Amino acid sequence: MHRLLLPFLFVATTTFAGELIHEDFGGSGLPKGWSAGGRPNSWTVVNGALQGVCAADDSHGPAVFAPFKAHDLHLSFKVKLDEKGNCLTLIDGESAFGGTAHLLRVTVYGNHLGIAQDRGTPQSHVEQGAAVAAARKEGKVLPPPTAEQLADPKYYRTERLASAPLTVKTDDWMKFDVVLKGNDVTVTVNGTQTLKATGTVFDVEKSRLVFLIGQGKKVWIDEVRVSAP
């Protein structure tokens, strides 16, 4: 697994012109075109922000989806976490391995910020999910991938590209700016802390923004923007 830890950089935020998503959650329900997965009422609009709640016994946190079409893009949003601190932001698009798949992951786990990419075929992803579900049903845990599996480019895996401790409090509103240009990604938090990485799967058409919360967690999201050059 490729791992790359990059130092903080302090740079100005990049802006793009063509706005594709502009949402402040002023309505009473999910915005038009948005959809949600998971248990009913996992995602609701509360006091002008999107609130996501994951039950403690839910093995896969609920997700909310917003479609768009772009190649390079600038994503910005505000997020606030509960005391357990867990939020996953994904960009989906055309996979080099076929079909539509997760491409980019921007993670906040506790007080750590991370950038990761997904590689491998959708079929492998489905097969692994089925294997995990079967093992869980039997009260077992699957072993980690073997060297032979990881040597197969079709084998689905998530590769961490960069990570760093967050320098802001996760129980306050945090402003995220995510810029994707070709295979390069830059994540800036509150205009001060920046993490950069270069992947291998990002230089394709993007089609969907996804927010996902973890087991037993709560998250609030607001001021979501997606724009393209």
Give the model's confidence band at 133: pLDDT under 50 very low, under 70 low, under 90 confident, else very high.
Answer: confident
Give the model's confidence band at 17: pLDDT under 50 very low, under 70 low, under 90 confident, else very high.
Answer: low
Q: What proportion of the chain, given as a percentage, has pLDDT over 70?
A: 92
Give the model's confidence band at 9: pLDDT under 50 very low, under 70 low, under 90 confident, else very high.
Answer: very low
Query: Which amino acid is residue 145, in one-letter code?
Result: P
Contact, 36 vs 45, CB < 8 A?
no
The predicted-structure confidence for 82-118, as pLDDT tens digits, reads as follows 887 789 999 999 998 888 999 999 999 888 999 999 9
Handedness of CA 155, 1, 114, 133 (dihedral sign): positive
pLDDT at 188 over 70: yes
- What pLDDT, on the 0 to 100 scale, is given for residue 110? 84
How many domains, the chain?
A: 2
pLDDT at 189 over 70: yes
Q: What proportion of the chain, given as a percentage, has pLDDT over 90?
A: 72
Q: Which residue has the tokens 């996760």?
A: 170
Q: CA separation (Å) from 209 to 1, 81, 227?
A: 25, 19, 12
Q: What average pLDDT does this structure show over 70-75?
A: 98
136 in the same domain as 146: yes
Judged by DSSP in three states, 60 sits in: coil
Q: Note down the domain range covering 164.
A: 18-119+157-228
162 in the same domain as 109: yes
- Report the distance separating Cα 58 and Cα 195, nearest Å: 31
115 in the same domain as 222: yes
CATH code, 179: 2.60.120.560
pTM here? Answer: 0.87
66 in the same domain as 166: yes
- What pLDDT, on the 0 to 100 scale, is given for residue 214? 81
Contact, 189 vs 176, CB < 8 A?
yes
Q: Taking all residues of the chain, what is their mean pLDDT, rounded to a whole number?
A: 89
- What pLDDT, on the 0 to 100 scale, is given for residue 18? 86
Contact, 72 vs 229, CB < 8 A?
yes
Query: Which amino acid is residue 3, in one-letter code?
Result: R
